[in-house]
Chain A
Amino acid sequence: MATAQELSNFLAEVERRAYRQTAYAVRDEHAALDIVQDAMLKLAEKYGARPATEFPMLFQRILQNTMRDFWRRQKVRNLWTSLLSSFGGHAAEDDDDHDPLDTMETGQRSEDEPEAQLERSQTIAIIERAIEKLPARQREAFLMRYWEDMDVAETAAAMGCSEGSVKTHCSRAVHALAATLQHYGFNQQGLKKPGAGS
Chain B
Amino acid sequence: MNQQESTVKLVVQALDASVEDLDEDLVRRLAAARERAVSAMQPQWQAAGHAGVLHQLGHYVAHHRLMTSAAMLLGALLLGFIVTQHVIGQHQLEQGDAFLLGSELPPEAYLDKGFDTWLQQNAR
Contacts and interface: CB of A to CB of B under 8 A. Distances in A.
Interface stretch (A1-9, A78-86, A90-98): A1-9
Interface string B5-27: 01110111111011101100011
Contacts of B17: 120, 124, 191
A147 B33 CA distance: 22
Contacts of B1: 188
Interface in A1-54: 1, 3-4, 7-8, 11-12, 15-17, 19-20, 29, 33, 36-37, 40-41, 43-45, 48-49
A13 to B, nearest CB: 10
Contacts of A16: 19, 22, 27, 30
Interface residues of A, number: 44
Contact of A124 (B21, B33, B46, B49): B21
Contacts of B35: 8
Q: Which of B10, B26, B42 has the most CB of A within 10 A?
A: B10
A146 B5 CA distance: 10
A43 B41 CA distance: 9
B45 interface: yes
Chain B contact surface mostly = helix
Interface residues of B, number: 37
Interface string B27-38: 101110111111
A181 B46 contact: no
Contact of A147 (B12, B26, B29): B12
Contacts of A130: 11
17 contacts: A1-B45, A1-B49, A4-B41, A7-B41, A8-B35, A19-B26, A29-B26, A40-B34, A43-B37, A45-B40, A49-B59, A120-B17, A123-B14, A128-B15, A147-B15, A181-B10, A188-B3
User: Which 6 residue pairs across A and B have the least CB separation, nearest first?
Assistant: A48-B41, A44-B41, A40-B37, A188-B6, A127-B14, A48-B45
